[in-house]
Amino acid sequence: MPASPARSDPTDRATADTVIRADALSKRFGTVTAVDDVSFAVPRGTTMALLGANGAGKTTTIAMLLGLLLPTSGRVEVLGFDMIRERHRAMPQVNFSSPYVDLPRRLTVKQTLGFFARLYGVPDVRRRVADLAHELELGALLTRSVGSLSAGQKTRVALAKALINAPKVLFLDEPTASLDPDTGDWMRSYLEAYQRDSGCAILLASHNMAEVERLCHDVAMMRAGEIVDRGPPAQLIARYGRVNLEEVFLDIARARNGADGASERPGALVS
């Protein structure tokens, strides 16, 4: 696997390169504010992490970015398209992976990947499925039903599904969950190489802080629906006087040693 690219400060990227933009994004469920005035941008060819404890608002934010939830207020653009009015124009170039979203259990892996390839209008479906099976080492699984796979195997198939249309924007929720350390490391190397070769922008939600330190150019730390701190992993670690991002995460999640006026109000109910 090729060496990973050097990390760069996303604030140095030209505004024209921005492919994911959230502007004053908020979501309320009755009296509960799940996401509160969140703004950020993700440039082309970079990876940004949304981090926070359960209930911080990460999943709700990603659902709004994908157009699955309507924001109470604010605006989302992906690839320059408004995700409320023009979602259909963005989605052919976007994909998503999560080990917590079930794929069709009775279909084989080959049938599943073929179905999603046709759904996205991928030309030469057979060739694309074969190429991904080779790249992600899924050949031995192609004739097995998705329901018969282990958790780690399902994670690999979910990533293959997310790459089936060679997306320009990729949303990843715990992309290496249930993978053993060796396979997880291999998968991270694959994602780095894919991003380098394609210029894909990635928004990542993960509880694996070592993974975030390795993959991400930018990190947004969420608590109680707000972004309470943000920066490249090395800058956050230095700012909090810690040795790694996991310690920073714990400081913010537990509202200790808060930097930049982090909010002290209790967490929301939506993760």
Q: Are 131 and 185 in contact (CB under 8 A)?
A: no
Which residues on adjacent β-strands are paired with residue 201?
169
Which residues on adjacent β-strands are paired with residue 223?
226
- For residue 256, the model assigns a pLDDT of 52
Task: Identify the H or E element spanning 170.
Answer: strand 169-173
Q: Report all structural domains of the chain as residue ranges with CATH numbers, in order of start.
A: 17-98+168-253 (3.40.50.300)
Half-sphere exposure (CA, 13 Å, Cβ side) for 216? 29
- For residue 126, the model assigns a pLDDT of 96
What predicted TM-score, i.e. pTM, was given to this entire model?
0.85
Report the C-alpha gap between 20 and 42 in whole angstroms.
5
Picking from 19, 21, 12, the residue whose alpha carbon sits closest to that of residue 195 is 19
Give CA angle at 206 (191, 235), nearest 5°. Answer: 85
Query: For 73-84, how does the pLDDT look when each residue is reduced to its tens digit (9 = 90+)?
Result: 999 999 999 999
Report the C-alpha gap between 202 and 100 in whole angstroms.
18
- For residue 253, the model assigns a pLDDT of 87
Picking from 92, 5, 85, 75, the residue whose alpha carbon sits closest to that of residue 40 is 75
Going from the first residue of the chain to its last (271 residues), give the mean pLDDT of each consecutive group of 10, the final group possibly shorter. 42 62 96 96 97 92 94 96 94 91 94 97 96 95 96 93 97 90 93 96 94 97 95 96 95 65 36 42
Half-sphere exposure (CA, 13 Å, Cβ side) for 71? 27
Picking from 51, 21, 13, 39, the residue whose alpha carbon sits closest to that of residue 169 is 21
